[in-house]
Each structure stands twice: as structure tokens, then as C-alpha cells.
Structure 1
Amino acid sequence: METEGDNKVRKVILTKPFSLEAEANNDYSAPNLLHRILSLFSHVRPGSDLSHFQCYGEEIYSTATDLLGKCNGGESPLARFINVVAWAISTTRPLVIGDTPYNPILGETHHVSRSSLHLLAEQVSHHPPVSALHATDEKENIEIIWCHQAIPKFHGTSVEVKVVGKRTLKLMKHGETYEMNFPNVSLRFLPFLRIDWVGNVSVRCKETGFVADLCYKSRSFLGFKANHRSVKGKILDSSSSKVLYDLDGHWDRTIAIKDKNNGRVQVIHNANEVISGLQAPIVKNLKSVWPTESAAVWSEVSEALMRGEWDKASEAKKRVEETQRELLKERESRGQTWTPKHFTLSRTEEGSWECFPLQQWVPPAPIIAL
């Protein structure tokens, strides 16, 4: 899609969200979060990734069911907490090894609406690379704030990417705030190349005291599939340290909890229902799309990749990067420091970053998720 603006043509290329079917069909490669930080694949060639900065938002707005509405509609604090745990697991999406030509530029944004939910992500820092996200639903009185930085550690035959930051979900209708961290990424080269989400994730509600401790596991060194994409954990009441539920399953299949009192088992997450059959967003108002929109910044790269024109995609990528280098030189020559447009950014005592949205509510977007 194209629109005339500021004396130049702007193209907006939106691709289908990464889902279980896309993985099975090998339509896409890994989401840009991993490859942006590792810079393992810097060249554009056949098999290149079509996913990029918009992956951050897709984890929230690209779902086949209304998981946030289910969180808000829980009849009790414990029911809502269980639904939030299921939602947190649903944001885990498949990773497939491949090349990615995208490297989010400073100030790149992704602004999308789905019904009354409006989402805005911004690349708030380039060195170090830090991404911020703000999503609000004024009708449902829901707010989401994410801020993360990925830090790679190389271990000879493997790389572990520690995703540092915090995810916050506020159900303001109930006066409840849920905080959670991110799983890490493990990339192993031997005995064969594979990639998985790994590590410990904690979900906590300040007001109710409920806590979920989750452990993401990958295949063993020899590649046995027993633990592949598995999630194990427990839900407990922190005030008494009493375990209420055991949690077990696979994030790309189903997750179930078992009541410690009566042994009843309940499936709380079904990946096939949540991240299957996803559709690409559509542009509702071309003239309102910001020049910083990810789908506009990388439109020529995406368009070339979709046609299989790898050399043209590489050339388009270089043009984007050269423009950014020129803008940096201009700022430095004027003694200017770049600041985020939609967030403020601060460093925590632990060394990670916190992002604070400048607006209370995210405005409706010209791009609509289906």
C-alpha cells in the first residue's frame, strides 16, 4: 500500500503474524528480538525473515481469542490470576532459526489497534538496544507496559540471551497489578542448530499476593524431546507459602494446572486455539501512518523479500542504515541528544531499564489488527 506525503511515496507492508502454522510451513524465521541482539545473520539471502519490530506488539494483539478480556472478567482474584498466568504464557511465540535483515532503528514505532485495545511500541535506545511498549484499553480499563533489553552471552557452542526487563499488566477495574519477567533464549550450535525459550519466569500480583513460578525448558544436549518447549511450575499464596496448583505442559501445545486440594486438572492454555489462524493487520488510514512505523521503515526490504529479490532487499536495508548514520552525524554536529518521543527512560538499581509512557491512554491507530 502507498500514500503520498511530505513529497515522497510511503509504502506500508504488513506481514502475517508468526504463528504455529507459519512455523510448520517455514514461512518465517525467528522473531527479531533474538537476531537483532546477536547480529548472527547480517546478510539478506534466500530464507530471510519477514518478521521484525512489530513482533513485540503481535504477542499482545495477535491472538485468536480475547485473553485480556478473560483476565479482566475473572470472578475472583484467584481466577483472574490464573487467567493472567495463561495470558503470560500465550505471549511465548515460536522461534525458528533463519536470517533476518531487520535491525530496529532508533525511534522506530509500531502503532496498532484491535477493537478498543490500542498498542504503541518504540525503540527507545539503540546502544544499548532497549524496546518499550504501551497498550491500553480504556473501555476495559486495562494497561500494559513492557520494557526490555536483550543481553547475549556466548558459551562456545551456545549462546544464551538474557532478556532483562519487566512486563506489567494492570487490571484497573479490579485495582490489581501483575508483574512478570521474560524468559530467556537459548541458541545451541551442537550437535545441531536449535533455539528455545528457557529460564525462570515469575508472575506476581502485588495486591492479592498470588505468585506463579514457571520454568521454561528446552531439549537436552543430545536433542531428546521430553522437555522441548515444556513449562513446569506452581501457583502459590505468598502470604502463607501454600502451593495452590501445580502447573505442567508445553507452551506450544497445552498448559494445565492441578488443584492441590482436590486433584482436579484444568487446561488453562491451548496454543492451537490462541496462536493459530492469525491474520495480517490492515491499514485503515494511510495518511495517518507515522514515518517511524516499522511497516513503513522496512517496507522496501519486506517487499523485496516477498518477491524473492534478495539483492534488492540488501540494498534497501543498507539505505535505511545509511540514513540513520547520517541522522546521527547531524545530531552530533549540533550537539543534540536523541530522546524517545513516547516514553521516558531510566536505569534501575539492578542495571536494567524502566520505561514510562508519556500518555495515559494510547490513541487509536491507523493500522487495525483483525
Structure 2
Amino acid sequence: MLSMVMATEGKKQPKIVLTKPFSLEVETDSEPSYGYRAPNLIRRLLSLLKNVRPGADLTNLQLPPLFYFPKSQLQCYGESVYSTTSNSNLLNKCNNEQTPLERFTSVVAWSISTTRPTSFGVAPYNPILGETHHVSKGNLNVLLEQVSTNPPVSALHATDDKENIEMIWCQQAVPKFRGTSIEAEVHGKRVLNLRNHGETYEMNCPRLSIRILPVPGVSWAGIVNIRCKETGLVAELSYESSYSFLGLGGNSKLIKGKILDSSSFNVLYDIDGQWDRTVNVKDTKSGKVKVIYDAKEVISGLKAPIVKDAEGVWQTESALIWGELTQAIISNDWEKAKEAKQGVEERQSKTLKERETRGERWTPKNFLVSYSNESGLDCDCSPINTWVPAAPIIAP
């Protein structure tokens, strides 16, 4: 079940509500991502989409509270970085390996660890403009900001000053209806800097595929490319699904790929496994096989973050902005959930109108953002500060 933290200073103060991150357990039917699933979910979902044409962009589709799980998209992005078990240390391993190939292989494993399970038929809240999410885990400090809502762009900056590690993400999820499924492409890039080694790794994200018919399900799909400019090492990961007749059975969590030297095009390792179990690499010369990623060790039994300093939580924090809605969903109070969702939307609309009246142009507080085309699908986010400060919310 979900765990929750609330910090209040009297009855009128808004609630800070934090929920368990997605881990391997959330996919089971006996324990979904929260304690409620709408009856006749498939029928409700098809009814919601009955007037939507195949190929239509669902970015601005307004969902009723029944179709939300209790967290913002910013929190989902952040959790994929800071929510790991206490005995796993993939990010530090990337930094502490001795050779460029060993470090690159560890970066591949870390990239796979950001792939998290989710539940069918529910979606995160769409972050409002200027919303932030700020959490620390050990020496890793993670800060996210919704830098744009039209188009919707989320930026992430995370630093570990002890290990001298930095990561920067700038991405936009674009969900489209495909008739019997919804495909959510994640545009943008992710950058990981290992400053001690002068190495920069660039990578993208797989797309989320939500099958409605013939058998409902959720899977990650597509190609993830990882490249280190300084060493010339490259990886290509293919997230695949294997289904039998009519979509029954099969496996929706397969990974296949390779690591190669781009200067010679020699394949150094073959990659094979399942992102929710183990992933192996096979040395193409020696034939030796080793496990580089074990999902059970990294993303099982995860716990909700906790509030360490309630007064230090920004008013733009996701867990504060959506606190009432999250509490209502956890409590299955759908009338209250509807009111809470409308309240957030009305306050956001009022703020935007007041800004327009004053002739003010909103700018992100923590990032500089540039777009290379009008669609906004190719953007770049640069953090304003070199290091992310410690957060008032911590991940156990």
C-alpha cells in the first residue's frame, strides 16, 4: 500500500503528501499503484477516447480524477533517478570503474534502471507552469522544474558534489492515440557528466506503449541510444515485446542491444535480458557473460520520500501543489478529488491571467531554455546553478 507524509502548520495550511515510488511490486493485480481501480476501466477508457481520431495528440486531454495515479509527472521523472534501494549504488559505480569501457557499461546499466514499471489505465498529473520537485538521496540532490506547458517541457538537474557527478534532462512526453493503443514518445535528451573523468554521456528515453485492445497492458518500447563523445563508445538498446496470438502471453519487458566502438564499428558486448529482471552483457571475443543490472536489487520495495524540513519546502513543490488531490485519490474520495483538481487548475488560470494583465513574461527559475524549432520538440535546458542544493525532502 501507499505510504504518506503530511506536514501542516494548522488546519488551513496545504498538505505535503508523498507517495511510494513505482517499484516492481506495483504491477501486480493484487497490489496496484494505489488502493483503487475504477470499475469497468476498459469501458471508461474507450468512452473517454470515442471521439478522438487515431493519430491525435493527447497532450492536452483532460482526464477525470479516476484516471490519475497520485503523483505528478515531475515526481515520476525524479523518482527514476533518486528512488533506488539502499544497497544499490549504480551511479557511484559509473564513476568508480577503472576503464572507459567499464564505466560505459555501468552507464548502460544505470540508464536501464531509470525504466520503471507503471500501471494500466492511469496517468500522472500534468505539471503546472513553474512547478518544481526537489529531493535529496544521500549526496545526490535532484531538482526538476516544469519550464513550459505549451509545449509541456520538464527539466531535471541533479548533482553529487562528493562524486563530482551531474545529470541534466530536458524532455517532453507526447502521447498519441493509435486506435487500439496510446503511444507516448518522450522527446529530448538526457546527459550524464562524470566530471572526474571528463566524460559526457548522452542518451534518450524509450516510449511508453499502452495497449487497450485486444489485451490491456503497458510496456516500454523503442530504441535507446547512448553515446560518450570523449571515448567514442556507443550503445544501442532495443526495448521489445513478444506476444503470442491475439496478444495473449509473451513478454513485454525484453531488452536487446550492443555496445560498440564507433571508431572501428567493432561490437564489444551483446546485451540481452529483461529490464524488470536481469540484463546481461556477453563479451564478443571471450564469450564471457556477466550480469550488469538486477532490477530486484535496485527498484524493489521502494519507500516514499519523507519531509525533513517542512518550512523549507517551496510553494511550487509538486507534493504541495497536488497534496489535496493526492490525498483524495488515496482516500477514494472522488468528489473531493474533483474539487481539488479544479482548484489547482483555477489557481493556475488566475495566475496566468494576472501575468498577462501586467504584461509580464514568465521565465523558469532554475533553467535557461532554448528551442530549435517552433514545435518545441527539440529543446535544450541549461541549469542556472552549478550545483543543486540539499533538499528539504529526502528519499530513504
1:252-302: CA deviation from partner (whole Å, max 9, x where unpaired) = 111001110011111111111110011111111110000000000011111
Q: Mean alpha-carbon deviation: is it higher for 346-355 or for 334-343?
A: 346-355
Q: Mean alpha-carbon deviation: is it higher for 359-368 or for 188-197?
A: 188-197
CA distance in 2, matches of 1:325, 1:42: 17
Q: What is the aligned partner in structure 1 of residue 53 from structure 2?
A: none
Q: What is the aligned partner in structure 1 of residue 211 from structure 2?
A: 188
Q: What is the aligned partner in structure 2 of residue 331 from structure 1?
A: 355
Q: What is the aligned partner in structure 1 of residue 371 from structure 2?
A: 347
CA distance in 2, matches of 1:304, 1:351: 34
Matched, 1:86 2:90: no
Matched, 1:54 2:75: yes
Matched, 1:249 2:281: no
Q: Secondary structure at the match of 1:84?
A: helix
Q: What TM-score, normalized by structure 1, do the two folds share?
A: 0.93
Matched, 1:298 2:322: yes
Deviation of residue 44 (structure 1)? Answer: 1.6
Q: Which amino acid is the alignment partner of residue 224 of structure 2?
A: V
CA distance in 2, matches of 1:344, 1:321: 25
**Quick one: which of 298, 301, 309 aligns to 1:285?**
309
Q: Which amino acid is the alignment partner of residue 15 of structure 1?
A: T
1:203-256: CA deviation from partner (whole Å, max 9, x where unpaired) = 111111111011111244732544421010000011100000100111011100
Q: Mean alpha-carbon deviation: is it higher for 182-191 or for 209-218?
A: 182-191
Structure 1 residues 101 and 153, CA gap change in structure 2 (3 angstroms)? closer
**Quick one: which of 23, 32, 37 aligns to 1:26?**
32
CA contact (8 A) 1:44 1:311 kept: no
1:75-104: CA deviation from partner (whole Å, max 9, x where unpaired) = 111000000000000100012113347221
Q: What is the aligned partner in structure 1 of residue 52 from structure 2?
A: none
Q: Which amino acid is the alignment partner of residue 62 of structure 1?
A: S
Q: Which amino acid is the alignment partner of residue 2 of structure 1?
A: A
Structure 1 residues 37 and 354, CA gap change in structure 2 (3 angstroms)? farther
CA contact (8 A) 1:186 1:196 kept: yes
Identity of aligned residues (%): 57
Q: Pairwise mapping of residues 59-78 of structure 1 onto structure 2 (< 5 A)?
A: 59-64=80-85, 65-78=88-101
CA distance in 1, matches of 2:58, 2:364: 20
Q: What is the aligned partner in structure 1 of residue 391 from structure 2?
A: 365
Q: Secondary structure at the match of 1:93?
A: coil
Q: What is the aligned partner in structure 2 of residue 33 from structure 1?
A: none
CA distance in 2, matches of 1:346, 1:258: 40
Deviation beyond 4 Å, 4+ runs, structure 1: 36-41
Deviation of residue 9 (structure 1)? Answer: 1.1
CA contact (8 A) 1:143 1:169 kept: yes
Matched, 1:16 2:35: no
Gaps of 5+ in 1: 31-35
CA contact (8 A) 1:44 1:101 kept: no
Structure 1 residues 18 and 301, CA gap change in structure 2 (3 angstroms)? same
Q: Pairwise mapping of residues 190-269 of structure 1 onto structure 2 (< 5 A)?
A: 190-220=213-243, 222-269=246-293
Structure 1 residues 37 and 174, CA gap change in structure 2 (3 angstroms)? farther
CA contact (8 A) 1:101 1:317 kept: no
1:14-48: CA deviation from partner (whole Å, max 9, x where unpaired) = 11111111222213499xxxxx9646671123x74
Gaps of 5+ in 2: 1-5, 38-56
CA contact (8 A) 2:113 2:295 kept: yes
Q: Which amino acid is the alignment partner of residue 290 of structure 1?
A: W
Q: What is the aligned partner in structure 2 of residue 272 from structure 1?
A: 296
Matched, 1:166 2:189: yes
| Count of aligned positions | 363
CA distance in 2, matches of 1:284, 1:116: 15
Deviation of residue 3 (structure 1)? Answer: 3.7
1:177-223: CA deviation from partner (whole Å, max 9, x where unpaired) = 00001111222222122221111100111111111011111244732
CA distance in 1, matches of 2:354, 2:128: 16
Q: Mean alpha-carbon deviation: is it higher for 260-269 or for 306-315?
A: 306-315
RMSD between aligned residues: 2.1
CA distance in 2, matches of 1:37, 1:62: 28
Q: What TM-score, normalized by structure 2, do the two folds share?
A: 0.87
1:85-136: CA deviation from partner (whole Å, max 9, x where unpaired) = 0000010001211334722111110000111110000000001100000000
